[in-house]
Amino acid sequence: MIAIIDYGMGNLRSIHKAFEHVGHPASVTRSPAAIADASHVVLPGVGAFPDCMRNLDRFGLIEPIHRAIRSGKPFLGVCLGLQLLFTEGEEFGPHPGLAVLKGRVVRFAGVAHGLKIPHMGWNQVKRVRPLALLNGIAEGAYFYFVHSYYVVPEDQALAATTTSYGLEFVSSIQQENLFACQFHPEKSQAAGLTLLRAFGAAR
């Protein structure tokens, strides 16, 4: 069973339905026991960085997230669920994140490039190293984005894909059992469903 972490924010219904569509049973939960028992864990995210961190703390979910990642089970972060994994976010900040990975979450300087912020809509994802979850997905495939901030890892070797929007930013990372993406696979049609199907099958 895939546990989708419910901290009172996030696109829970869409990602739950997407997993069920590709044949992977999932449940939306904030129970530490259910998260511990799950075969796979998903941290979705929509909202402001500090609000989400406060809710994770309020519902006692910070340590269960750390334990799930340390356990070695497949763990997926989506959009803000990617950003929260890092040391610090500058949205209404600075504010501490989960500090699973070293790095910062910074705002696009879009006005200087004549770009609209948030970065919203379809954009290409470029692989920078082999990634099992993207097997069967064409190089340069388009995924759906909605965000005003992006991650800057201290260790650039974490980057699995990059995307261009005024600058080349890290659009997904992978470290051992942990994969997290700035784009929304649950809103990315065939390519996104292929990724979610592969995640659900990962061991």
**64, containing H or E segment:** helix 62-71
Cite the DSSP H helix spans in 94-157. Answer: 110-113
- Enumerate residues 6+ apart whose C-beta is below 8 A from 179: 74, 75, 76, 77, 131, 133, 160, 172, 173, 199
Residue with tokens 């990315």: 188
Q: Are strands 2-5 and 26-29 parallel, antiparallel or unpaired?
A: parallel
Q: Report the distance separating Cα 183 and Cα 180, nearest Å.
A: 9
The DSSP bridge partners found for residue 105 are 89, 151
Q: Report the distance separating Cα 180 and Cα 169, nearest Å.
A: 14
The single residue of 16, 119, 147, 184 carrying the catalytic annotation is 184
Active site residue 147: no
User: Do the beta carbons of residue 155 and residue 166 sit within 8 Å?
Assistant: no
The single residue of 40, 79, 91, 181 carrying the catalytic annotation is 79
Active site residue 186: yes
User: Do the beta carbons of residue 76 and residue 41 sit within 8 Å?
Assistant: yes
Q: Report the distance separating Cα 68 and Cα 45, nearest Å.
A: 17
Active site residue 90: no
Question: Any idea which residues carry the catalytic annotation?
Answer: 79, 184, 186
